[in-house]
Structures are given as C-alpha cells and as structure tokens.
Chains A and B, each alone.
Chain A
Amino acid sequence: MKSLSEIETISKRASKAMGFSWGISEEVGKSIKLLELFDLKGIKNLNEYFKKRSTEKFENLNLISENNESNKFPYCPIILGVNFLDQVKSLEKFNNIKITKIAYPLIFLSFLSRSSEILGKRIQLKFDDKIFLLNFNVNILSKMSIDDFPITANHVEISFIENIDNFNDQDWNSLYKLSEKTFVEETDSLKTGAAGAGLTDND
C-alpha cells in the first residue's frame, strides 16, 4: 500500500512535470492525498487527466463568476480548483454558481472540499443527476458509487449552504428538557456563595 506521503509527493512532482508551477503542484499534491484519504480515486483520475492533457485541449477558468460557460473545451479541474480555493470568500456572495463542462470533476471535488473548510460552510455540488455534500473538509457525502465518476461534468451547480440547524425547535426543546434532569436545584445558601454574590454590580 502506498502511504499518503508518497501519494502527495508523486502527485506534486507529476503535476510539475505536466507544466504546472511548483505552487499549483503543491496544491494538487494536497488535494489528491485528500481524495485517497477519503477512499476516492484521486491517483487514477489525475493519471487519466494528465494522459488526456497530452492529446486534448482544456480551458483555464481564472476569474470565476456566477455563470461560467466554457467556449469549446472542458475546464481544467486543477486551475479551476485552485482558483475556486483562492476566490471562495468572494464567491460566497453568489447563491448559485454555474459552470459548464469540467473535466475530471473528482479532481475539482477535492478543491471544493478544502474550500468548504476555508469558508466554514458546507458546499453542495450538483452535476447532471449527481449531488455531493462537502462537509468542512471532514468528509464528502454522496449517494453515487465512487467507481462511477464521469470524465466530464456537463452542467455543474455549486451552492454554499448557510450554517443553520438541520432540526426543528421542537426536537431540540424536547432533548433540552431531558438534559435538565442532570441538573441540581441550588439552595438559597449556595446561591449566596456563588461567584459575584454579595456584591453590587454597580461598584
């Protein structure tokens, strides 16, 4: 079994060999390591993407906006991913970011996962009929089989999920009431000896 350290180093060096800068290659190393840690096929996808790059063209999406349509060729998942990571704080203002055609979306997914941690918000990625939930770079949820990752994501939608409870007040209050059964009622004498007691708050 290859260690994550080996996976990161080899991905980084291979990216440099493909013409990416050292700084971008470092990002690829981290992202592929992350995918493999989550048992997603990072090495396989990166290898296939690099093979394709030798014969096919890909577009670079540098400045990401609300609607991003590739002219002819799919977007490079690495340049798109690094720019998403860098620009995520300014992209947050968009409710929904649309991107057409991303090559090897699994590679892009790793950058989205890291963006979720930077922003402190969950990110939802939808493409074609598939949905992924990126949870603060702690995990990636999807109903999709990890072996079925497509080569191209055609219609991609990214949304930032507000930090709100996913339960209602009724459920919370019910549990809170139960938790109160672990508390002890204080006597008057204990109350008089507690922190701040006996002083006037206006002194």
Chain B
Amino acid sequence: MKVELRDPNTIMKLSRLGSFHQSKLSFLRSFLDEFKDWEYKKDLFDLDKGGFGTAIYSLKKNDRVYSLVCFANRLNDGERSDRVIATKWDAAFTLHDGVPTKQDIERLKSEVPRQEVGRLSYKELTLSRANKSVRVFDHVVDCLSKGRQPDLNLLNNVGYLYRTTAVYGSGKFGLADRFRIKNRDEINGPFRLEMMLVYLVRQFTFDQVNHVAKHKNPKEAVSLDLNICKNLGIGNSTGLGMAPFIVNHPTLLNNWIFCRETALKKIREIRNIKPEEFNLFKDCVRSSIKNLTTWNTESKYQLKKINSLLKNTKKFLRFIESEFKFEIDYPFNQIYLWLEQETCEETIEYIVSIMMEPFDKIVKPLIKHMSSEEDKYFNIPAHRTVEELREIIEKRYSDILKIDFNNKKNKKNFWFISKNKEEPRYADRYEENGSELEQPLAIARDIKKLYEKLINSKNSITIDKFLITNSDLRHVVRRAFIIEKFPYAEIQDNTIGESVVPIDMLRLKLSFFGALKFDPRSDKWLRICMFQGAPLPHELKNFNQQWVYSI
C-alpha cells in the first residue's frame, strides 16, 4: 500500500505547526544519540563558596574536543531579567572548539558575560546565558545544606534550576561560521552544537547547586539525588527572535518537516508490525500521560490545548488497549485515520511523534537529511517564464491566493527589527510607527501581490525581464522557485493577519529542538524545558531511548 505524504496545505498551517511535539527526530534527542560514546569530563571547576567563578566541561572523541566554558557571576535580584534587553545574567557560556588555552579563558572571561556586546572568535561555536530560577535554586541549596533532598512537588512544577534566555550560533557576534565546521560528521544535524551547550549547562547547574550547598554547611550537606537531577532539565525563555528564522530558512524548514512526514508515511506503510513494536508504542502513549498531567501553564490558550490533548490521548489509549487489533494489515495507517476522525490537531501530532518510537530503522537515516545547503538554492532561475512562475504559485500557494489583503485585518501587523536590541518584533501597523521599515516576512501578502502582477504579464516573458520592472518582488520570486522543489518550505498561512498567534511559529521550531512543556506567557513569548528526563553525562553510553516518556 502506498500512503501519500500529507498535504502541505494542511500541515503548514500555523495552527497545525503550533501543535507539533518533540519526537525521535528532535535535535536534542539526535544529539544524545550521536554523542553517546564521547568521553565526558569536568576539566575545571573553580567556583568560590557562593558558586561564582569559572568551570569547563568537555566532550571528546579521538582528536576532537568541544569545551563548554562557564562563567558564573554574582547578580543582584533587581538585575535579573529574562528579557532579551537584559545586560547581566547569573551565568554565561560559550562552546569552544578544542581545549581552551589560558589566554583563551582570559579572553572569554571578558567577552562571554557581555553576550551581544562582546566579541567572540572563530574558535567559539555557540554562546548563551542563563538565569537561576531563584525560588528553586535557593530551595535546593537550603535543603541539601541541611542534609535532605528538596521538595519534589516544587521541582516538578518548575522543572529546572536555570533557564537560558538565548542561545546563539552560526557566526553571530564573531562566532565561527557554519562553513568552517559543516563537514564534521558528528554535527551533521541542525543545532547540534546549540544542543551540546544546553546539555552541558544542565550538568553545570547540578554541580553548582551541590557546590554551594556543600560550602554552606560542609558537615551536613548532601548532593542532589541523581534521579532528581535526571528529572530536571534546562528552562528557556523564548521570544519572537525565533519566528523569522523559519521564514528566512525555507529549505531548512522543508527538510525538517519533510523528514517528519516521510517517517509518518513509512510507518503507515508498514503492513505487519511485531508485538514488541506495538507494545513499545502503547507503553510510550501510556507513560506520556504523566507528561501531560505535569504540564503547568497559566496560559488559557495553552490550557485549553492541554485539556483537549489529555482528554483525547486518554480516549486514544482506551481505543488501542481495548478495541484495536494491531495484528491487522497496516495498523498504523488505521491508527492515523482514527486520529484524524476522532481527535484534534494537537493530539494527531502528539501521537504521530510517539509512532516513531519503535522504528529506529525508519527514523535514524532521516536525521542526516535535516540540514540544508541553503546557498545552492539561492539563485533565481531567471531564464524561466512568467507562465511557469504563475503555475508554481497556483499549485503551491492556492490557499494564500484566497486571502484578501485589501481587508485591513489581513495585514494588521508587521515584523520589524528593534533598534535597541536588533531583535525581531511584531506590531500593529495601524497603531505603531515603523511599518515602512517592515522586514520581508509578510510572504503571503507579497506572493499574492506577485501573482497579481504575473496574471497581468505576458506568459512568454522570461523572469529576467519581469524582474527589471518588478524588483520589489524579487524576494518572493526567489521563494516561489524554492517552494517548487521544496513543498514544505513555506508556512501556508498569513503571518501578518489579525488572528495570528506568533508563538505558533516558536512552538514549531522548539518542537524540533525537542522542547517539552510549552508555557506561553503571552502571545509573543513562552517558556519551555529541555533535556528534562534525559540521561546524565555518566549514563550516556547506555540509556533508555524513550527517556522522554519516563519522567
């Protein structure tokens, strides 16, 4: 039986993309898999009794070493802010390529804590900073110093000791350009070095909290229980900075979604599955209920989604435990069709992610196809004709062409770069100044404008001639030719309309990172947790692949 890939016009809608969940394809999980046989070491831990100072952690294999350099700084409570406009943090980090020399450490000590206003070099790969969850950190220090373990309810509610507020890579602030390292096998997957940084930071937070507790009361202090550590991740506050990324990297977006869709298609095409495969799937669905019941948020928008997801997942579990016979032909196809019929977008995508768990043979080969050589697709095939371009748009943007951009509510917002922090922002064009400096992220509107120009142009005109008088549409001409080859490259929705929920765009990207427990704090930023339940460094050589569902 041949199953078709799902229609981009359905999958690439913002509400669907905003319902994606982590899966075996997620970058933090593929990072752990790739680095499981690397040697982990704590190379330096030079903190004072308050936990301030320098630490270095490394992962090594053969001649290759990646070193996380951490700087923990004293910060007054009034100075602590998760916003991107902050200028001081509890800790700052960089991932250094190789073993840093003393001179490197001195250089980094003066640059890394300054983050965006510091300068890194081609020897550094990623840069980040993080703030303590003071409530949790202080509680843990207090308990450990008194010789007891912390309150698990509090820890479960928050899920981490620290949260990062940005993780930078790929040439930002002088960091190494991607081309310098792209041929390394171990990082042949998107955001692998960003994942490495966050993973090693997680270990730093445990070491730091133990260190502070020990110095507070050397005689009685105990270390944080390893099982508790394992159930803590790293938090992250994420704003709109992430949203333009998925618009600005169309072939990369395509490859992420295409791999997910290919995995689903192949799983639906399996005629007979083994009992152990079905049992693993069922166990993951069952265990995952706990992830849903411990998913805390005050966002009404997210609470509604979680409640629907929990209700539908329980309903699905009853279905597969009592009615469904996995011995039938193409069982996962039947399951998928049932989900479409009986549940919501959030549940469909949740279960699609879990479907991948038993099928490493399908999923693992896809991971190396999730990067993209974007420059290869940059040039416009200007020898092609207006007729061809028009046909591409009619085929690939059919829903977009139905949007009426003369209606004010369909172009209510605009994306811009803020002057004070050079970060992407989103605002109402009828209430705020600056829409004349709009970023080229209103793809739906501009595609529609291009289409209207094309239908009034002669079919046989070549694109080079068309562009002479339509230079303002060049950016979308390029995109249309990209989407011809990459059907999942484009969000099939209006990103500037009145009803847009920008966090849907963040959620899409974060799900591919492997984030859990999305906690929207407004429609423009959210908090998440990464690596919660993940193996600790000393467990990397042999860990439960389904750790996400065993928290």
Which B residues between 443 and 468 are near A, CB-CB below 8 angstroms? 462-465, 467-468
A115 nearest CB neighbor, chain B only: B379
A66 within 8 A of B: no
Interface of B is mostly: helix
Q: Among the listed stretches B99-107, B109-117, B263-271, B471-479, which one makes contact with chain A, having 4 or more residues with CB under 8 Å of it?
A: B471-479
A49 to nearest B CB, angstroms?
Answer: 18
Using a Cβ–Cβ cut-off of 8 Å, how many residues does chain B contribute to the interface with A? 34
* Closest 8 pairs (CB-CB, A-B): A23-B474, A5-B171, A3-B171, A86-B382, A86-B464, A23-B475, A22-B440, A22-B475
B375 within 8 A of A: yes
Interface of A is mostly: helix
A85 to nearest B CB, angstroms?
Answer: 7
Which A residues between 80 and 114 are near B, CB-CB below 8 angstroms? 83, 85-87, 89-90, 114
**Contact between chains at B474 and A21 (CB < 8 Å):** yes
Which B residues between 79 and 132 are near A, CB-CB below 8 angstroms? 121-122
> Which A residues touch B473, using CB under 8 A?
21, 23
B32 to nearest A CB, angstroms?
Answer: 27
**Contact between chains at B382 and A3 (CB < 8 Å):** no
A59-95, CB under 8 A of B: which get 1 and which 0?
0001100000000000000000001011101100000
Which residues of B line the A interface, CB within 8 A?
Answer: 121-122, 170-179, 375, 378-380, 382-383, 417, 440, 462-465, 467-468, 471-478
A178 within 8 A of B: no
**Contact between chains at B471 and A1 (CB < 8 Å):** no
Q: How many A-B residue pairs have CB under 8 A?
A: 74
Knowing A21-B472, A23-B471, A26-B475, say if A118 contacts B379 (CB, 8 Å). yes
A131 within 8 A of B: no
> Which B residues touch A118, using CB under 8 A?
379
Complex formed: what's the CA distance from A63 to B468 in Å?
8
Knowing A23-B475, A83-B464, A83-B468, say if A6 contacts B171 (CB, 8 Å). yes
> Which A residues touch B171, using CB under 8 A?
3-6
> Which B residues touch A89, using CB under 8 A?
382-383
**Contact between chains at A1 and B378 (CB < 8 Å):** no
B454 to nearest A CB, angstroms?
Answer: 15
Question: Can you list 29 contacts pairing A with B, beta carbon distance less than 8 Å?
Answer: A1-B174, A3-B172, A3-B174, A3-B175, A5-B170, A5-B172, A5-B177, A6-B172, A6-B174, A13-B417, A20-B471, A21-B474, A22-B472, A23-B477, A26-B378, A26-B474, A30-B375, A62-B468, A63-B465, A83-B468, A86-B380, A86-B463, A86-B464, A86-B467, A87-B464, A89-B383, A90-B464, A114-B379, A118-B379
> Which B residues touch A87, using CB under 8 A?
382, 464
> Which A residues touch B478, using CB under 8 A?
23, 26
A29 to nearest B CB, angstroms?
Answer: 10
A14 within 8 A of B: no
Complex formed: what's the CA distance from A22 to B443 in Å?
12
Q: Which of B375, B378, B383, B471 contacts A21 (CB 8 A)?
A: B471
A2 within 8 A of B: yes
